[in-house]
Every structure is written in structure tokens, then in C-alpha cells.
């Protein structure tokens, strides 16, 4: 698989994907950012999904120290991604999930401009907050909760990427 940035040029250390920010016009308050999928082998999952579904762009795998997982994103359409998540070690937020299910759908993530306000509003509506805002991938703050909805799917809120934080992509 040849390496390239979004525009098709070759990858360099500072390659940025240029994702829109949640406050951009027309995106609304909640923009679908990604669907999180827990896997036993990150490399195998990324290669399988990007190859079989002909997705052309992936991020380079990286460690998310806050969640103790190894992660890679695969662009599926526009600015919507699949996030493949592999636990690092035996004591991570997804280790038991992987042991019980052998992997699969884990969460849906929405990019929001004001994560503190969104978490407060959902909590006031009786959501179960699993993880208050913490620094996650790309220096973004992330939070996890189960909204008081049916079905109550694990939901992640993600702040927009700080403009100075690049992510590395490969094709």
C-alpha cells in the first residue's frame, strides 16, 4: 500500500488530515466522527477493512496512553472514520469487552465544540457518565457516557483537534 496524504501527495511527518471543526457551518452541534471497534489485532483489522472495502486512507497506529490502547483510524466517507482499538496489556477499558465478545462494535463518537457543556446537559438528562473529559488522541479532550436513551449505546464526545496537532496518515 503506497503512502499518501489526503490530497494524494506523499506522506511527511507533519501530514494533516484537515478535519473540519465542529463549529464549522452546516455541521450542526453533533457531527458523527467515528465508530469505535475493539479488535484483537489492530494491524489485521486495519488491513482487512481498508483492503476489502477499498478504503484508501488510514492513520498510522498510535498508542493512546490515557485509555491504554493502540488505535488506528480508517476513513470511510468524508470525515467519518472507523476507529480500531486494541488493548495494550491486561488492564484497559476494553480488555474485558474483548474477552467477552472477541471484539466488535464498542461506541459511537460525535465531535462537539463544547465538551463540558454537552456532558453536563446529558448528565442532567440522567446519562451515566463513564469518563469525564480527559485528553485523548491528537490532544483532543474526550468523554464517554451512556445516554438516557433506548438503546443506550456507549457514546464518546470528542473535541475538535487543536489546529497545531498533526496526525500522520498512510494510504
pLDDT given for residue 164 in this prediction:
60
**What residues does 84 pair with on adjacent strands?**
37, 72
| Secondary structure of 36-96 as H, E, C letters | EEECCCHHHHHHHHHHHCCCCCEECCEEECCCCEEEEEEEEECCEEEEEEEECCCCCCCHH
- All domains of the chain in start order, with CATH: 31-162 (3.10.180.10)
Does the global pTM surpass 0.95? no
pLDDT given for residue 156 in this prediction:
97
Output helix, strand, coil percentages for the chain, rounded to the nearest 5.
20, 35, 50
pLDDT given for residue 162 in this prediction:
81
CB distance 79 to 69 below 8 Å: no
C-alpha pair distances (Å), 129 with each of 96, 102, 156: 19, 25, 10
pLDDT given for residue 20 in this prediction:
42
Q: pLDDT tens track of the chain, all 171 residues?
A: 333 333 332 332 223 334 444 445 455 789 999 999 999 999 999 999 999 999 989 999 999 887 899 999 999 998 899 999 999 988 888 999 999 999 999 999 999 999 999 999 999 999 999 999 999 888 899 999 999 999 999 999 999 988 764 554 455
Amino acid at each position: 500500500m503506497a503512502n499518501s496524504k489526503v490530497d494524494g501527495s506523499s506522506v511527511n511527518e507533519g501530514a494533516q488530515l484537515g478535519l473540519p471543526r465542529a463549529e464549522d457551518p452546516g455541521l450542526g452541534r453533533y457531527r458523527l466522527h467515528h465508530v469505535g471497534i475493539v479488535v484483537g489485532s489492530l494491524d489485521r483489522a486495519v488491513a482487512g477493512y481498508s483492503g476489502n472495502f477499498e478504503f484508501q486512507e488510514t492513520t498510522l497506529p498510535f498508542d493512546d496512553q490515557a485509555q491504554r490502547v493502540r488505535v488506528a483510524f480508517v476513513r470511510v466517507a468524508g470525515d467519518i472514520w472507523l476507529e480500531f482499538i486494541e488493548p495494550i496489556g491486561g488492564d484497559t477499558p476494553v480488555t474485558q469487552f474483548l474477552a467477552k465478545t472477541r471484539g466488535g462494535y464498542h461506541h459511537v463518537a460525535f465531535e462537539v465544540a463544547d465538551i463540558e457543556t454537552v456532558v453536563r446537559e446529558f448528565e442532567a438528562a440522567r446519562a451515566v457518565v463513564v469518563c469525564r473529559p480527559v485528553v485523548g488522541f491528537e490532544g483532543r479532550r474526550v468523554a464517554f457516557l451512556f445516554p438516557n436513551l433506548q438503546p443506550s449505546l456507549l457514546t464518546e464526545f470528542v473535541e475538535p483537534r487543536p489546529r497545531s496537532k498533526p496526525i500522520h496518515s498512510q494510504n
